[in-house]
């Protein structure tokens, strides 16, 4: 199938079926070393840092507030990242601020929250408006962190709604850090494979 010309749709950069869309005068800012996989849609006031990786078919939509994704963070396949708009009682709304070395598992939904450096969001987990996940903390697969909750550093939370389960042992924390390093290296291979011929 022939590729769509890059200039076919004003305001949209389509390369390898990646859409980078400017909206409301804001254009996503993506570091040259980041990997954006085919099928991704990145919209509006988004900043993606060095060696970050956004995997296949993710949506990152900063149309009503901003989204920041730090260095070496990976957002795995099919995940959705959004933010929340200002409103009465919440004049700043809820931007989504994701730190460095964060792991976000496949099909996660991250909305209007803060993920500190080295946080972990498991497969299919949901993080809602006003939440904060501390460094070296893990939200288990399938869990739902309900609005306004804070997970302290080094803890494992799970369930719907998510609750404290236990403190994470050092081997689990080191495993998360190894996962970050693995994704940085794996992204380089995928980025090379996805380059235009």
pTM of the model: 0.90
> Within a domain: residue 197?
no
> Within a domain: residue 5?
no
Domain range spanning residue 70? Answer: 12-192
> Within a domain: residue 127?
yes
Nearest by Cα to 115 from 165, 79, 78: 79
Own/partner contacts of 127-136, CB < 8 Å, gap of 24 or more, are 129/84, 129/94, 130/94, 135/99, 136/168, 136/173, 136/176
CA 86 to chain centre: 21
> Within a domain: residue 178?
yes
Does an H or E element contain 178, and which?
helix 170-194
> Within a domain: residue 2?
no
Q: What is the pLDDT of residue 51?
A: 97
Torsion (CA) 84, 85, 86, 89 in degrees, nearest 10:
-50
Q: What is the pLDDT of residue 4?
A: 43
Tens-digit pLDDT string for the chain (197 aa) = 344 444 444 444 445 688 999 999 999 999 999 999 999 999 999 999 999 999 999 999 999 999 999 999 999 999 999 999 988 888 899 999 999 999 999 999 999 999 999 999 999 999 999 999 999 999 999 999 999 999 999 999 999 999 999 999 999 999 999 999 999 999 999 998 887 55
Residue 90 is given by DSSP the state: B
> Within a domain: residue 138?
yes
Q: What is the pLDDT of residue 147?
A: 97
> Within a domain: residue 4?
no
Q: How many domains does the chain have?
A: 1
> Within a domain: residue 41?
yes
Q: Residue 42: give its domain's CATH number.
A: 2.160.10.10
């Amino acid at each position: 199938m022939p590729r769509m010309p890059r200039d076919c749709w004003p305001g949209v950069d389509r390369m390898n079926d990646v859409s980078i869309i400017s909206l409301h005068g804001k254009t996503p800012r993506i570091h040259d070393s980041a990997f954006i996989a085919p099928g991704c849609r990145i919209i509006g006031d988004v900043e993606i840092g060095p060696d970050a990786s956004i995997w296949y078919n993710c949506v990152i939509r900063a149309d009503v507030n901003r989204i920041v994704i730090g260095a070496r963070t990976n957002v795995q396949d099919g995940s959705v990242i959004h933010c929340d708009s200002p409103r009465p009682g919440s004049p700043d709304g809820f931007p989504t601020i994701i730190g460095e070395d964060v792991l976000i598992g496949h099909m996660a939904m991250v909305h209007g929250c803060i993920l500190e450096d080295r946080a972990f969001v498991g497969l299919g987990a949901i993080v809602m408006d006003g939440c904060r996940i501390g460094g070296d903390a893990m939200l288990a697969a399938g869990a739902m962190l309900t609005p306004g909750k804070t997970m302290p550093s080094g803890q494992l939370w799970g369930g719907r709604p998510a609750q404290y389960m236990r403190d994470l042992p050092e081997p689990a924390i080191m495993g998360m850090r190894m996962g970050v390093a693995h994704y940085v290296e794996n992204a380089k291979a995928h980025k090379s494979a996805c380059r235009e011929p």
